[in-house]
Structure 1
Amino acid sequence: MSALRLIGFLFVLGVVIAPSAGIANPQLAQTPGARANMQMLEPQTFRGAAFSYDHEVQVVLPASYDVSGDRTYPVLWVLDSPLMTRTVVGVLDTLVMGNHAPEMIVVSIGSPAEEGLAGLGRRVMDFSPPGPDYFPPEPQGEAWRALAPLPQFPHKADDFLAFLVDELRPQLAQRYRFSGDHALFGHSAGGMFAAYALFQRPGAFGKVIIGSPYLNVVRGAVFDAETAYAATHDDLDASLFIGVGGDETDEYFLAISGIVSSATRLSETLHMRGYPSLDVRTRIFAGEDHYTVVPRIISEGVRHLWAEDAAELPSSWPQPPQ
């Protein structure tokens, strides 16, 4: 028998005899008829009340969704859809197969890929909190302006956050089986927005993954939001994963943006607050830059935020007989 046929035989055998022999399987094997991977639906177009342009939304359903009856699923909201969706889904497929994460629905938001970089440029408006401009405080601001003398543009983070939570979420919840467990993942400028959302709309996302964030831009607006939140709250009920690449300190633009130092500052500040209901995990990934770090942030972020759920899943490998 060939190795490939043997692997297939053992997998099928494990699925069949699991209930009686106690052999654990990937969670998908517990749902007869489940797909081998997640199902990427056709993109949909939505326009928020405060926007003059559309956002493209792609919903990706769990592999077991069509055959799981009325089961509900946690939702991972992903910013920068054209860049991040396929990476997030690929990582989730393997994590689910290994029982390192529960199945979940992915909702990705961004510009249509066909619009190219012009469409991606709107993300800066969507993600920017209120502020006088997009630059970091001095002296980094001076260095930024020398490289990229940005024009004035609308800062629509509050509008975009309201669109996600108050408009888009209720519409999608009528179509898909959301469990009420909502997480937000953003990277780079999206990481700045994810951090801002944590303080501006506490409770909107109980889990947040912040990747390589531009926290110093807009004159440190995210830290202003954190300070304002701390002044009126003594707790923050959320689970947070912050990840950056260690090599981001050695690229000039990212260095003057303070990617690593500002992410560390946010983590240290939150630990200092001592919020009893807040869980924070921070990782600096050695040898990774602003781009290569993305899959590691997604993988470790999901594994950390859903660690309790994953612990209830069986091992994905056959266990020794009892």
Structure 2
Amino acid sequence: MTRPLALLALLVPVFTAAQPVAEAPVALDGTHQVDLVSEVNGHPYRLYIAPPEGYAADDTTRYPVLYILDGRRTFPAAVTARAFQDIYDGLDEVILVGIGNGEQTFDAWFSHRWRDYTPSANAATDSVVAVQFSQDPETVVSGGGPDFLRVLREEILPLVDSAYRTTGDRGLTGQSLGGLFAAYVLFEAPGLFQRVGINSPSLWWSDGETFATEVAFAEAHAALPAHVFLSVGSEEGRSMVPPMERLAEALRSRGYDGLTMDAVVFADETHTSVVPAMMSRTLRVLYGRSE
């Protein structure tokens, strides 16, 4: 019995002697960030950028870009999913750009996305949600989607195109309110993004106004040149699953020229647990290695 105790006596100083090191920011390898203040709406934005592994300063190759909403939270998942799929060359090379506003708290993130990702103002819903999520009612203000689309078109896209060797091949993906915004952009600015991920979209917004938008679009357009991926978790409930399936069926039934579409319901996933799965599948569907 004495030898184990003697061994323990040797080990204890090893643990107690350990001292905390100076705190340093954690960063994903091969990524960086760019901050800007929009002249369109006056709000700050932070871009989280991850060029593909093959990106080199002395190369002339150009790359497509995937813009990822809710960047601070979803960008790391996208970078990790790409790294794993790249082990077997599963994806085409693509520049990943997460879009956030540098938010460090839930409240700041919530008000930012509530403003930017809603295509119309709905004061009644603002009030209900402010109470539900214990938010300051003055910060829960919807309807900034049209301005945020201008931020994308006039500021963020040109900034990335000027700083990186990009092609005109752009993708946009979002989840929840971000999925609502991606659907809005698909019909409001056709052609701006050629690949669109509409994940767990909040199509309940303003009594399902997205469906009226799609009907009006179909009446005026025969073409919708895009590769669209729709997804939702099976455990997200009646307000989320049937509307996603309804939008998928509407897109299938139109026969839009130039449209290709994939849709999936992730089994046993909730509105939050589905995020890593939808991010990985979005990359695989929209950027799977072409032969």
Shorter-chain-normalised TM-score: which range?
Answer: 0.7 to 0.9
Q: Which residue of 2 aligns with 1:87?
A: 77
Q: Is the 8 A contact 1:182 1:204 kept in 2?
A: yes
Q: Which residue of 2 aligns with 1:306?
A: 287
Shift of 1:66: 2.0
> Residue 236 of structure 2: which of 231, 248, 265 is its match?
248
Q: Which residue of 2 aligns with 1:140?
A: none
CA spacing shift, 1:278–1:146, aligned 2, 3 Å: same
The amino acid across from 2:40 in the alignment is: A
Q: Which residue of 1 aligns with 2:165?
A: 177
Shift of 1:179: 1.6
Query: Are 1:267 and 2:258 matched, yes or no?
Result: no
Q: Which residue of 2 aligns with 1:189?
A: 177
Tell me the secondary structure at the aligned position of residue 303 of structure 1: helix
Shift of 1:118: 2.1
In structure 1, C-alpha distance between the alignment counterparts of 2:131 and 2:148, rounded to whole Å: 29
CA spacing shift, 1:265–1:93, aligned 2, 3 Å: same
In structure 1, C-alpha distance between the alignment counterparts of 2:182 and 2:125, rounded to whole Å: 18
In structure 2, C-alpha distance between the alignment counterparts of 1:166 and 1:146, rounded to whole Å: 35
Q: Which residue of 1 aligns with 2:264?
A: 283
After TM superposition, the runs of 4+ consecutive aligned structure 1 residues lying more than 6 A away are: 143-146, 148-152
Q: Which residue of 1 aligns with 2:109?
A: 119
Shift of 1:49: 2.3
Give the structure-2-normalised TM-score: 0.82
Query: Are 1:226 and 2:205 matched, yes or no?
Result: no
Q: Is the 8 A contact 2:65 2:170 kept in 1?
A: yes
Q: Which residue of 2 aligns with 1:40?
A: 31
Q: Is the 8 A contact 1:131 1:221 kept in 2?
A: no
CA spacing shift, 1:299–1:119, aligned 2, 3 Å: closer
Shift of 1:125: 0.6
In structure 2, C-alpha distance between the alignment counterparts of 1:218 and 1:289, rounded to whole Å: 23
The amino acid across from 2:170 in the alignment is: H
Q: Could you tell me which runs of 5 or more consecutive residues in structure 2 were left unpaired when the two chains were aligned.
A: 1-27
The amino acid across from 1:194 in the alignment is: A
In structure 1, C-alpha distance between the alignment counterparts of 2:250 and 2:148, rounded to whole Å: 26
Query: Are 1:293 and 2:274 matched, yes or no?
Result: yes
Q: Which residue of 1 aligns with 2:43?
A: 53
Shift of 1:52: 2.7
Q: Could you tell me which runs of 5 or more consecutive residues in structure 1 were left unpaired when the two chains were aligned.
A: 1-36, 137-142, 250-254, 313-322
Give the structure-1-normalised TM-score: 0.75
> Residue 206 of structure 1: which of 194, 208, 213 is its match?
194
CA spacing shift, 1:134–1:175, aligned 2, 3 Å: farther
CA spacing shift, 1:89–1:227, aligned 2, 3 Å: same
**What is the number of residues matched between the two proteins?**
261
CA spacing shift, 1:58–1:165, aligned 2, 3 Å: same
Shift of 1:192: 0.4
Query: Are 1:162 and 2:162 matched, yes or no?
Result: no
Shift of 1:105: 0.5
The amino acid across from 1:230 in the alignment is: A
CA spacing shift, 1:68–1:91, aligned 2, 3 Å: farther
Compute the RMSD of aligned alpha carbons.
2.5
CA spacing shift, 1:48–1:145, aligned 2, 3 Å: closer
Q: Which residue of 2 aligns with 1:110?
A: 100
Tell me the secondary structure at the aligned position of residue 109 of structure 1: strand
In structure 2, C-alpha distance between the alignment counterparts of 1:301 and 1:185, rounded to whole Å: 8
Per-residue Cα deviation, 1:25-65 (whole angstroms, up to 9, x for no partner): xxxxxxxxxxxx96111x22122222132111111111111
Per-residue Cα deviation, 1:166-202 (whole angstroms, up to 9, x for no partner): 2211122111111221111101110100011000000
Shift of 1:102: 1.1
CA spacing shift, 1:276–1:134, aligned 2, 3 Å: farther
> Residue 77 of structure 1: which of 31, 54, 67 is its match?
67
Tell me the secondary structure at the aligned position of residue 61 of structure 2: coil
CA spacing shift, 1:177–1:219, aligned 2, 3 Å: same
Shift of 1:299: 2.0
Tell me the secondary structure at the aligned position of residue 292 of structure 1: coil
